[in-house]
Amino acid sequence: MPLNIDVVQILLHMLNFVILAGGLTLLLFKPVKKFLDERQKYFADKEKKLAEGLENNENLRAEYEKKLSTVDSEIEEMKLNAKNETAKEAKEYLNNAQEKAAAIISEAESQAEDRKEHILDSAQTEIGELVVEATQKLLETNANPDRTHELYDEFIKSMVRDVQ
């Protein structure tokens, strides 16, 4: 063969390179590439998370800024609400107090009425007893049949008048 080309040696070189290529690919290329891919994925994920976090922060900032811009009117509204609420509660409290006072007064009046009736009843009884006692004493001291008849008549007359 020209140039000392030898097919067997070409094949031996090919065999050599096939062994080398397989070994290098398995031992070096693939493990290193796997590591590089993992690292790329790790940092890509990290970057993605960071971007998401930044977006969230931006949204929150916008939201808070919006809230801050409306906070004065909200405070005013809350103040007004609180004032209305307080006035309503005060009114209810006052109404309750008035109702209670009216109930107390009504109960006191009823009790006073009862008491008055009771006192009048007892006073009538006592007066009646006193009258009877006085009458007995009077009768005992001034026992006069004419006078007695006269008193009985007078009493009957007065009764008749009352009845009429």
Partner 1 sequence: MKGMVIDMKKKISKRRAVFIVVWLLLIFFLLGAILILKSPPNETESIKEVMKDGVLHDRNKISLFGIIDVNPALISAYVVTAVLLVVAALIRIFAIPKFKYVPGKFQIVIEKLVEFFNDMAHANSPHKTGFISAYIFSAGVYIFFSTLFELLGVQAVTTEGHSIALPAPIADINAAIAMGFMTYTIILLGGIICNGINGGLKVLKDFSLPISMSFRLFGALLSGLLVTELVYYYISLSFVLPVVVGILFTTLHALIQTYVLATLASVFYGEAVEPKKPKEPKRSGKSKQPEAPEESTAA
Other beta carbons within 10 Å of 139: 13
What is the contact surface with partner 1 in residues (CB under 8 A)? 3-6, 8-14, 16-21, 23-25, 27-33, 35-36, 39, 42-43
Provide the minimum distance between the beta carbon of 2 and partner 1 in the complex, in angstroms, as a whole number: 9
**Residue 31 vs residues 12, 20, 36, 37: alpha-carbon distances, Å:** 28, 16, 9, 10
Smaller CB separation from partner 1, 32 or 54: 32
86 exposure class (CB count in 10 Å sphere: 0-12, 13-18, 19+) = exposed
Provide the minimum distance between the beta carbon of 26 and partner 1 in the complex, in angstroms, as a whole number: 8
Rounded Cα–Cα distance for residues 89 and 81 (Å): 12
Provide the minimum distance between the beta carbon of 13 and partner 1 in the complex, in angstroms, as a whole number: 4
Smaller CB separation from partner 1, 3 or 163: 3
Smaller CB separation from partner 1, 28 or 112: 28
